[in-house]
Amino acid sequence: MILVTGGAGFIGSNFILDWLAHSEEPVINLDKLTYAGNLENLNSLKGNPRHIFVRGDIADSELVAQLLSEHRPRAILNFAAESHVDRSIHGPEAFIQTNIVGTYRLLETARAFYKDLDERAASCFRFLHVSTDEVYGSLSSGASPFTEEHKYEPNSPYSATKAASDHLVRAYYHTYGLPVLTTNCSNNYGPYHFPEKLIPLCIHNALAGRPLPIYGDGLQIRDWLYVRDHCSAIRRVLEAGKVGETYNVGGWNEMANISVVQSVCEILDELKPKENGSSYAAQITFVTDRPGHDRRYAIDAEKISTELGWQPKETFETGIRKTVQWYLDNPSWVANVTSGAYQSWVGQHYGSGLNTTARRTSPHVDT
Ligand code: NAD
Ligand code: DAU
């Protein structure tokens, strides 16, 4: 079996659903269930003996050691993290605890387990660390996309803690011989995405008649990848990745934020037109920029493509349509996650409407 950490979050839950659809191999899912962890994502696995959920912290070495010794997984896949850049700006502490201290403790516990494995089990064992393109920092407009050799220049507390965790993973390979693999992926989108992130926030706000907040001029560029394509990349790296290597994962799909939000609005206009006939794009509102906002990320996914034969299946057009449709089909999931802790975060970050000066009130694109 495999041990997945953070498997109740956005990517982790998609990964577990995807894994169990492709493999007979059981999964132990260790998740602390922070505000971002949601067992409802895994409702379809109720009663499935191949999914074992354990609530706990990756930094709890005693618990992790006990799980390893009881279940003897052949791999640990570390998705657990604090993942939202804006939250890291408001309060970096939790990011340092989970992303740095948590990853360190998980590595240390994995190392103790690995060292006692017999030769055959040791040769199969892998520690796969799921990381982000944000560790590379911001690209200027004409610069080539990030390769695996790009230097690390993290700019937010979130990316700094992810960079630290990547370095620890690397060090455990070079120093202790722990068989590690690291993936650095671009922005994911798809089902079960928590509505604090741009795409699900805009879908949710659009349907609720609220402003769609665009930071700064909205021309910041991200590479967008459908979450199930990220899951297939991770499966492939686990299966065939070379120990000690890192693999960049992306969709070859750079888009300005404003264009992403306009695409969402166009699909909503088609699938759920507003009664008054206006476009959801009329709700777009430009607000004060994120501090230290990285201007552009772009991933060169050549290595994983040529060495491991991985390619994304979805284009942005097909993936974003599936995503919008999923949110329209699952209003109760959205209603459940937008209560409680999430509501207080929205109040703190955006204020009663938006926390910021609305700098423009109509969409604006310079291409
Ligand atoms: P998420 O915030 O949706 O989920 C994180 C999960 O980790 C939650 O279920 C949470 O309860 C759990 N968790 C947090 N702290 C924990 C701890 N100390 N112990 C155990 N569980 C804990 O995040 P996500 O978007 O699914 O991201 C998953 C991973 O992928 C992260 O490592 C993130 O850095 C990375 N990543 C995300 C993206 C993206 O676009 N979302 C892109 C590239 C890489
Ligand atoms: O690049 C991979 C990263 O993508 C992951 O490592 C992170 O875990 C994940 O959260 C995501 O980070 P971003 O900061 O890029 O995602 P977010 O959805 O928060 O923002 C996407 C872009 O949209 C970014 O340029 C900021 C902007 N934005 C975001 C929000 C929430 C807005 O303009 N308005 C908003 O309200």
CATH 3.90.25.10 maps onto the chain at 198-219+254-288+314-361
What mean pLDDT do residues 138-162 have? 98
Q: Look at residue 360 in the predicted model and tell me its pLDDT.
A: 33
- Lowest-confidence range among 201-205, 283-287, 351-355, 363-367? 363-367
- Residues 6+ positions from 41 with CB-CB distance below 8 Å: 8, 10, 13, 14, 17, 192
* 364 vs 252, more confident: 252
Please name the residue whose Cα sits nearest to atom 7 of ligand 2: 83
- CB of 186 closer than 8 Å to CB of 227: no
Centroid of ligand 2 to alpha carbon of 139 (angstroms): 16
59 lines ligand 1 (CB under 6 A): yes
115's tokens: 């060292």
If you average pLDDT over residues 207-222, what whole number do you get?
98
Q: Is 173 helix (H, G, I), strand (E, B) or coil?
A: helix
Query: What would you measure as the largest C-alpha separation in the chain, in angstroms?
Result: 68
Q: What is the pLDDT of residue 362?
A: 31
Tens digit of each residue's pLDDT (9 = 90 or more) over 104-116: 999 999 999 999 9
Confidence (pTM): 0.95
Q: State the pLDDT at residue 140.
A: 97
Burial of 258 (0-12, 13-18, 19+ CB in 10 A): buried
Summarised one tens digit per residue, pLDDT across range 180-190 is 999 999 999 99
For the question of residue 192 being annotated catalytic, the response is no
Please give the distance, rounded to the nearest whole angstrom, from the Cα atom of residue 123 to the centre of ligand 2. 38
Asked if 172 is an active-site residue, the reply is: no
Return the CATH class of domain 2-190+226-249.
alpha beta
CB contact set of 33 (below 8 Å; sequence gap of 6+): 8, 39, 55
Per the prediction, the chain carries an average pLDDT of 94
> Probe ligand 1: pick from 11, 100, 198, max atoms within 8 Å of CB?
11
CATH 3.40.50.720 range(s) for the chain read 2-190+226-249
Do residues 309 and 233 lie in contact, with contact meaning Cβ atoms separated by under 8 Å?
Answer: no
pLDDT band (50, 70, 90) for residue 226: very high
User: What pLDDT score was predicted for residue 348?
Assistant: 83
Share of residues in the chain with pLDDT > 90 (%): 92
Q: Is 133 a catalytic residue?
A: yes
pLDDT of residue 352: 57
Residue nearest to atom 29 of ligand 1 (CA): 79
Does 234 or 343 have the greater pLDDT score? 234
- The average pLDDT across 318-341 equals 93
Give percent above pLDDT 70 in the chain: 95
Listed in sequence order, the residues at least 6 apart from 351 whose beta carbon sits closer than 8 Å to its beta carbon are: none
Domain 198-219+254-288+314-361 listed as CATH 3.40.50.300:
no
Q: Which amino acid is at 113?
A: F
Q: Is residue 220 pLDDT above 50, yes or no?
A: yes
Lining ligand 2 with CB less than 6 A are 83-85, 132-134, 186-187, 197-198, 201, 213-215, 220, 222, 257, 290, 297
Average pLDDT over residues 308-330: 98
Q: Do the Cβ atoms of 29 and 16 come closer than 8 Å?
A: yes
CA distance 158 to 164: 10
Residue 139, Cα to own-chain centre: how many angstroms? 20
More confident residue, 55 or 340: 55
